[in-house]
A and B are shown apart, each in its own frame.
Chain A
Amino acid sequence: MANGTVSNSFKWRNMTQDELKAEIHAQLTTRLSRLGMKASEVDDELDLVRTGLLDSLGFIDLVAALEDVTGKQVDLEAALVQENATTVSSLLRLFR
C-alpha cells in the first residue's frame, strides 16, 4: 500500500476533505483494480478491513501514507477509539 509513496515534505499543505478522499481512493487504486472494483464503489462507510479490502497491516500502511501526504502525524491509539474505525469516513475525520 505505502510502496511508491514518497514523503514530499516540501509539498505539505492543508487538504480539503474532497482532496483527502481522492488521495485515499488513489492509495486504494491498485488493490481495488485487483479486486475488479472502482474507487467510486467504495462507500465512505465501507469497512476497509472487514471486507478484506485491506488487512490490518495494510490499513496501518494506508494511514502512514496519508501522514506522508498531509504532513500530519496522527495518534492512532487515541484517535481510533470509536467503532468502525477502519472506514474512509473515519480516516477523513482522523486527518481533518
Chain B
Amino acid sequence: MRYFARSVLLPERLLMSSTDPIALFRQAVDRWPENIALVVGEEQLSYADLDRRSDAIAAELVRAGAVGQRVVLIADRTTSWVFEAVLGIMKAGASCVPLLPEGPLDRWTSMLDRCGARLGLISPSGSEAALRVERPHVEWIAPKSESNGMSGALPVPVSNDQEAYVLFTSGSTGGPKGVGVSRANLSAYLGHLLARYQFSASDRFSQHFALPFDLSFHDLFVCWASGATLCVRPESGWLRAAAWARSMGITVWFSAPSLAGVMRRARALTVGALPSIRYSFFCGEALPWQLAQDWRIAAPASRIINLYGPTEATIAITSFEILPDMATVQGVVPIGRSIGSDRTLVAPFEGAPPGEGELLLSGPQVTKGYINAPEATQKAFVELPGQEGLWYRTGDHVREDADGILHFVGRIDHQVKRFGQRIEPGEVDEAMQPLLDGGNAVSVPVLMNGATQLVTFIDVAADVRWLMDQLRTKLPVVYLPERIISLPEIPRNTNGKWDRVKLIQMAQHDAG
C-alpha cells in the first residue's frame, strides 16, 4: 500500500474539528487509498476512486454556487453514484437533502418546499424527473461523476455551523418536519462513537439504512473514518440478510431490531449463523431482550450494543451494551447512558412515578431545531431554569435506575414506531382529512402479532379502496393504516377529546 501525499493543504482542515466527517474521510484516503471503500451491487470503489469521483461532483456543485446551500438528492442506493453524491455535496460545503427514491411525489415536493432547497442533483437514473416537472424553479445540476481534471482538494472553507444534512421526521400537524444537522453535530457524534469502539481498516460495515434515515450517516462516516469497507445491502435483501452478511463477510452490523426480528422469523438466526460479526449495533426502536439473546446465538463473536437517539440529537446519543453474562430479562433492553459529552435529564411529568419522566437532551449533538417551523421548534427545544444550554424534549418516557442507566418506558404522546420509523398518527389523519368531505379521521396504534399497526377511524361512509389509493400518493407505505374503520361517530372522552383508549380497544376487538 502506497502513501499518497496530498499536494494542497485543505483550508477546512484548519477550520474543522478533527472528527469532521469529510476530514476523517480524507485522512482515510491518504492512509488507505487502495482499500475498498464501497461495495454496491457489482461495483467496488477504492478510497482513491471514491475520493476522485466525489471531488468531481463537488467541483461541479461549487461552480453552480452550491456552497452553503441545500442540495436535494433522490437517494437511490442501487449504484455507487448516490454515495459519491453525498460526499460531493458535503465536500462542497453544501447540505445534503436525501429523499426516499420511492417518493411519493407529494412528499418530495412538501419536503423540498419545507427546506427551501433551490438546487438538486440530476442522477444517472433520472429518478428525479417527476420532481423536476413539479418544481421547475429548482436548479438541477448534472454532475459528471468521473473526474474532469479537477481532482484533489477543493479549496472550500467549511465552518462548523454548516449544515451537513437535512432529514425529515413525522409531524403531527403541518406535515414532515425538517431537521438540519450541522457538521459540528455530526463531528461530535463521530468523536463520541469512535472513542468508544475500535474499528479497523479491515472491517466490513453493513449498510442497511435508507439515506433519508440518519442512521445511514453512521454507516457511511463511521466506516469511512476507519478505512473500512461499506457493504450496501440490496433493497430486496431483507429476506436473506443473514446469507448476505455471510457472503459479504460483515464484521460490523448496524440495523433496526425489526430486521433482526424478520431474520429470526425466517429461521436465519441459527447457532453461529453470523460468525464474522464482531460488533452488532441496533437502533431505531426498542430492542427486546429475547431478540438480543437470540442474536448472540447467531453471532457469538459479536459485542451487542443498543443505541438510542432521535434525529434531532444526531443519530444516537445513549448506548447500552448487552454482556454475555447478563440474564435474559423480560421486556426491552435499557437505552443506557450518554455515549459522550451530551447530557441527559429525566424531567418528571404529572403523574410520573419517582425516577421517571420525559427524557431531555443537551450538548454538542443536539441540533438547533426544525427548519422554517418556529412553533414546533419552540415546543421541542427549550431552556431550563438553572441548566445551561438548549434542551431537546424527546417525548420519550424513560426511567433512570439507581445506577444512572436509562430505561425506555414508552411515549408521552401518540407517536408510533414502525420498522424504526417515527410516525405521528396525526400526520396520517391530516393526510386523510381532505379526502373525507368534512369528516374526521383519528389514527391509533394497535399491537397485533407483536407488530405495531395503525388503525384509522373515520366518521363518514367512504370507499376504503379509494381512500387507500389516495393515501398512497401522499404517504410512504409504512405510514398506511392497516385498516380503516368507519363509525357513525368517533367516541370522545369526558374532556371532549378523541377517546383514543376506547378506539384502541375497539380496534383490537375488531381485529380478533
If A35-B465, A61-B265 touch, whether A80 touches B477 (CB-CB below 8 Å) is no
CB within 8 Å for A77 and B477 given contacts A34-B464, A36-B466, A56-B262: no
Q: Which residues of A lie under 8 Å from residue B261 when comparing CB positions?
A: 57
Tell me whether B387 is interfacial, beta carbon within 8 Å: no
> Contacts A57-B451, A77-B243: A52 and B265 contacting too (C-beta < 8 A)?
no
Interchain CB contact (< 8 A) of B472 among A52, A77, A84: A52
User: A3, A35, A76: which contacts B240 (Cβ < 8 A)?
Assistant: A76
Residues of chain A at the chain B interface (Cβ within 8 Å): 1-3, 34-37, 50-52, 55-61, 63-64, 76-78, 80-81, 83-86
Task: Give 9 new A-B contacts, CB below 8 A, not counting A35-B465, A51-B477.
Answer: A1-B449, A34-B482, A34-B483, A36-B466, A60-B262, A76-B268, A77-B239, A81-B240, A85-B239
Task: Find out whether the CB atom of B258 lies under 8 angstroms from the CB atom of A86.
Answer: no
Asked if residues B480 and A36 are in contact (CB atoms below 8 Å), the reply is no
Per-residue interface assignment for chain B, residues 470 to 512, with 1 indicating a CB less than 8 Å from any chain A CB and 0 otherwise:
0010000110101110000000000000000000000000000
Point out residues on B near A: beta carbons under 8 Å: 102, 236, 238-240, 242-243, 258, 261-262, 265-268, 418-419, 449-451, 463-468, 472, 477-478, 480, 482-484
Contact of B239 among A1, A34, A37, A80 (CB under 8 A): A80
Provide the residues of chain B in CB contact with A78, threshold 8 Å.
Answer: 243
A60 to B265, CA, bound (A): 7
Task: Give the A-B pair count, Cβ closer than 8 A.
Answer: 70
Structural contact, B265 and A3, CB atoms closer than 8 A: no
A52 and B477 within 8 A (CB): yes
Shortest beta-carbon contacts, A-B, top 9: A36-B465, A36-B464, A52-B477, A34-B483, A77-B243, A60-B265, A77-B240, A76-B266, A80-B239
Which residues of chain A are within 8 angstroms of B268 by Cβ–Cβ distance?
76-77
Residues of B within 8 A of A34 (CB): 464, 482-484
Determine whether the beta carbon of A61 is less than 8 Å from that of B463: no
Using Cβ atoms and an 8 Å threshold, which residues of chain A touch B477? 50-52
Cα–Cα, bound, A59→B419 (Å) = 14
The CA of A35 and the CA of B466, in the complex, are separated in Å by 9
